[in-house]
């Protein structure tokens, strides 16, 4: 049974570590907690000093249970716990006896929270807290993974809808966070871009509505203002809306504009951060945006507009990396401007296409030759451009003379060959 403790009196008998753990859970559920014990565990004493619990500093008496809705006894003495459980029975009060669960009328489950779902596991016979905890954690992990359809089957009348801005990461589905997976499992409708982990859409239940608002260079069939309207309209219809975006919602994802539009319309909006392509795509290609002795900082800019002196200043800083998103279309003008601004023509540049996907590919060249190299390779979006010393080939290669791992360096004894 699920019990509502908000504003109800719970009596904890015993002031030790078990009562301290249980007190926190009852307080989280809004209960009024009273501890009956000659002494208090330091955690309970802090709660008392903070005015969060009441304390009766003596051995328990039958009258202490009066007006209680629930009793938990953990004195460390089985006989006392049995006595308290008997008093609770006489008063028709549910009671957990920590010394031996068979003496009480209730059992404390192992509990894990996974979004709006609370999972509790109890033993059918006997008491085995470790087993219950292991089973509960395994179930919670399954729920957190988004592998279970978490949409409510029974809706509260006039329940307001909500919007969740979800960062889908650079593309690979296994780079979605657990929170992102759970949000998708709770969604009634998904408003999706063309980038990010869009493959997960195929895993959604068939009755989840998917609205495609993806943009491509020079082609924006659904303008941002209309996307904002769609989010508000769907949420006002009482639906749980996930706005699935590539990378992170707040890194050139226009998530801030969508959040403002929702809040202006009185719609609850939550943001689930994503793995940003600005860092993840270079990393997937073996390019660290910072590296000790090479680069101690980085800056992220968008190539939708021709980069200006701010970007060229970064390029002239020898220990700073410049990461350009959505910059393939303006690459030539960016390079011309950089060279005209005095940027070193030999500055390393790497362009990583389709980062984290099976079709990932990296094109490298010095700044002065990167445009020709990109044209020869027919580089296309989506791509991330990395400019700076970290983009040089071989940066992460083992230093010359490094010792190979023992397993690979040592040949089997001659006497064993062929056996």
Could you list the active site residues?
A: 193, 215
What is the distance between the alpha carbons of residues 248 and 197, in angstroms, rounded to a whole number?
A: 11
- Asked if 330 and 324 touch (Cβ cutoff 8 Å), the reply is no
Say whether the peptide bond before residue 151 is cis (omega within 30 degrees of 0).
Answer: no
**Alpha carbons within 13 A on the beta-carbon side of 281:** 33
* Contact between 186 and 117 (Cβ < 8 Å): no
What does each C-alpha distance from 21 to 29, 40, 49, 60, 79 come to in angstroms?
Answer: 13, 12, 17, 20, 22
- Cβ(187)–Cβ(209) below 8 Å: no
- What are 44's two structure tokens? 């309970």
d(CA 246, CA 201): 13
Q: Looking at the DSSP assignment, which residues form a beta bridge with residue 351?
A: 363, 385
β-bridge partners, 96: 72, 106
Element at 372 (helix H, strand E)? helix 370-377
Taking each helix axis from N to C end, the angle separating 224-236 and 255-264, rounded to the nearest 10 degrees, works out to 40
Contact 175, 197 (CB under 8 A): yes
Kindly report the backbone phi and psi dihedral angles of residue 328, in degrees, each rounded to the nearest multiple of 5, phi listed first: -65, -40
CA distances (Å), origin 54, targets 4, 51, 87, 361, 372: 20, 7, 20, 64, 76
Kindly compute the dihedral angle of the four CA atoms of residues 246, 251, 257, 263, in this order, to the nearest 10 degrees: 90
Q: Which two tokens stand for residue 128?
A: 């085995």
Taking CA 21 as the corner, what is the angle to CA 18 and CA 24, rounded to the nearest 5 degrees? 145
> CA torsion 162→163→168→174, rounded to 10°?
0
């Amino acid at each position: 049974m699920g019990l509502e403790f908000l504003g109800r009196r719970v009596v904890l008998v015993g002031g030790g570590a078990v009562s301290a753990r249980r007190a926190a859970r009852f307080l989280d559920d809004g209960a009024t907690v009273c501890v009956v014990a000659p002494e208090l565990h330091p955690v309970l004493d802090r709660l008392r000093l903070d005015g969060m619990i009441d304390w009766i500093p003596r051995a328990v008496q039958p009258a202490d249970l009066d007006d209680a809705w629930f009793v938990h006894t953990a004195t460390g003495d089985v006989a006392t716990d049995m006595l308290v459980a008997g008093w609770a029975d006489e008063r028709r009060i549910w009671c957990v006896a920590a010394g031996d669960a068979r003496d009480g009328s209730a059992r404390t489950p192992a509990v894990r929270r996974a979004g709006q779902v609370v999972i509790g596991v109890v033993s059918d016979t006997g008491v085995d807290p470790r087993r219950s905890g292991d089973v509960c954690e395994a179930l919670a992990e399954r729920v957190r993974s988004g592998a279970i359809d978490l949409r409510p089957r029974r809706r509260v009348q006039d329940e307001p809808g909500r919007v969740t801005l979800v960062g889908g990461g650079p593309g690979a589905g296994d780079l979605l966070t657990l929170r992102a997976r759970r949000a998708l499992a709770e969604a009634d409708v998904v408003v999706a871009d063309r980038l990010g982990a869009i493959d997960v859409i195929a895993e959604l239940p068939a009755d989840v509505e998917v609205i495609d608002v993806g943009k491509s260079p020079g082609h924006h069939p659904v303008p941002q203002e209309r996307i904002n309207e769609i989010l508000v309209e769907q949420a006002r219809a009482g639906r749980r809306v996930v706005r699935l975006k590539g990378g992170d919602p707040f890194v050139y994802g226009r998530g801030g504009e969508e959040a403002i539009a929702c809040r202006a319309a009185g719609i609850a909006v939550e943001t689930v951060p994503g793995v940003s392509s600005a860092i993840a795509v270079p990393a997937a290609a073996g390019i660290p945006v910072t590296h000790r002795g090479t680069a101690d900082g980085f800056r992220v800019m968008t190539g939708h507009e021709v980069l200006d002196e701010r970007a060229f200043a970064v390029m002239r800083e020898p220990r700073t990396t410049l990461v350009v998103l959505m910059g393939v279309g303006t690459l030539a003008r960016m390079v011309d401007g950089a060279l005209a601004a005095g940027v070193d023509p030999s500055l390393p540049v790497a362009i990583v296409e389709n980062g984290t996907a099976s079709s990932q590919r990296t094109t490298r060249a010095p700044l002065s030759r990167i445009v020709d190299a990109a044209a020869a390779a027919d580089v296309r979006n989506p791509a991330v451009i990395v400019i700076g010393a970290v983009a040089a080939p071989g940066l992460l290669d083992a230093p010359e003379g490094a010792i190979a791992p023992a397993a690979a360096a040592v040949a089997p004894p001659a006497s064993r060959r062929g056996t």
